[in-house]
């Protein structure tokens, strides 16, 4: 992998990590376009640049977490089911990443349809919970368990939390902010676990590429998060549902 390849993948990650379109699915497609052979290193690179995106959340929300520590406890409660399911499904997840374009296509398409259906239901029912700090521990655990579905490429971590948050009648802003915060322990632990399992075999050059991708993803994610929060404040998630359906159909057409 060249530094140009790393930069392209890092930009894709930074633009897609926090919107419900599946960053992993887009990275799989991008790697195919770049003619990159999927390997243990590329799989670890994908997970590492996701951590770079999460660091952007740490920087943007650090002050709020310090001033409102109760939010941290709810994030931890949500992370517990994610960690258990993620640990048990780690090997299966790596297997999916090996050649998962067909899975990505179907996941994007089905997820897009589900988002549109939930948006229609959500508009009729309205919301109960307006702020992140108002989320109950029970709701947090449900959100964390649903987030674990994102191990399947194309499902989208934020997409899973968006749909579960809608079912719990959380406000759109609340859903997104909690999804951002829940990503912090989720991606930090996923990256640490993966590098412990695979990092010993990386060369110095590969570590340099990892670091470069990490930094590039962080920078792009800062701008991406600010844009997305502004977008969600004025629009519904339906835009992303239609996007998922279109991209999913394109992928399925090429694969099948």
Within 8 A by CB and 6+ apart from 136, the residues are none
pLDDT (0 to 100) of residue 126: 60
Distance of CA 54 to the CA centre of its chain: 9
pLDDT (0 to 100) of residue 248: 93
pLDDT (0 to 100) of residue 255: 81
> How far apart are the C-alpha atoms of 86 and 122, rounded to whole Å?
29
The residue ranges of the chain whose pLDDT is under 50 are: 98
- Residue 71 CA neighbour count, 13 Å, CB half: 20
- Locate 174 and state its tokens: 């609340």
- Locate 121 and state its tokens: 């239901």
170 by DSSP, 3-state: which?
Answer: strand
pLDDT (0 to 100) of residue 219: 92
């Amino acid at each position: 992998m060249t530094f140009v390849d790393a930069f392209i993948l890092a930009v894709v990650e930074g633009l897609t990590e926090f919107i419900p379109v599946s960053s992993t699915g887009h990275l799989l497609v991008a790697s195919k376009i770049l003619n990159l052979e999927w390997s243990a290193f590329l799989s670890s690179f994908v997970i590492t640049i996701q951590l770079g995106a999460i660091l952007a959340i740490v920087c943007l929300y650090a002050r709020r977490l310090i001033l409102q520590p109760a939010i941290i406890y709810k994030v931890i409660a949500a992370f517990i089911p994610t960690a258990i399911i993620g640990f048990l499904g780690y090997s299966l997840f790596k297997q999916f990443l090996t050649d998962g374009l067909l899975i990505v296509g179907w996941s994007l398409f089905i997820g897009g349809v589900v988002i549109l259906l939930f948006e229609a239901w959500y508009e009729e029912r309205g919301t109960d919970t307006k702020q992140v700090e108002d989320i109950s521990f029970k709701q947090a655990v449900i959100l964390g368990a649903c987030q674990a579905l994102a191990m399947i490429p194309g499902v989208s971590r934020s997409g899973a939390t968006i749909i579960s948050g809608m079912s719990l009648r959380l406000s759109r802003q609340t859903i997104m902010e909690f999804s951002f915060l829940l990503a912090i322990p989720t991606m930090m632990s996923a990256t640490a676990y993966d590098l412990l399992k695979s990092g010993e075999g990386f060369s110095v050059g590969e570590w340099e590429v990892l670091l470069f991708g990490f930094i590039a993803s962080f920078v792009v994610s800062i701008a991406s998060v600010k844009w997305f929060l502004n977008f969600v404040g004025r629009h519904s998630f339906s835009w992303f549902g239609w996007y998922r359906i279109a991209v999913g159909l394109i992928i399925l057409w090429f694969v099948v």
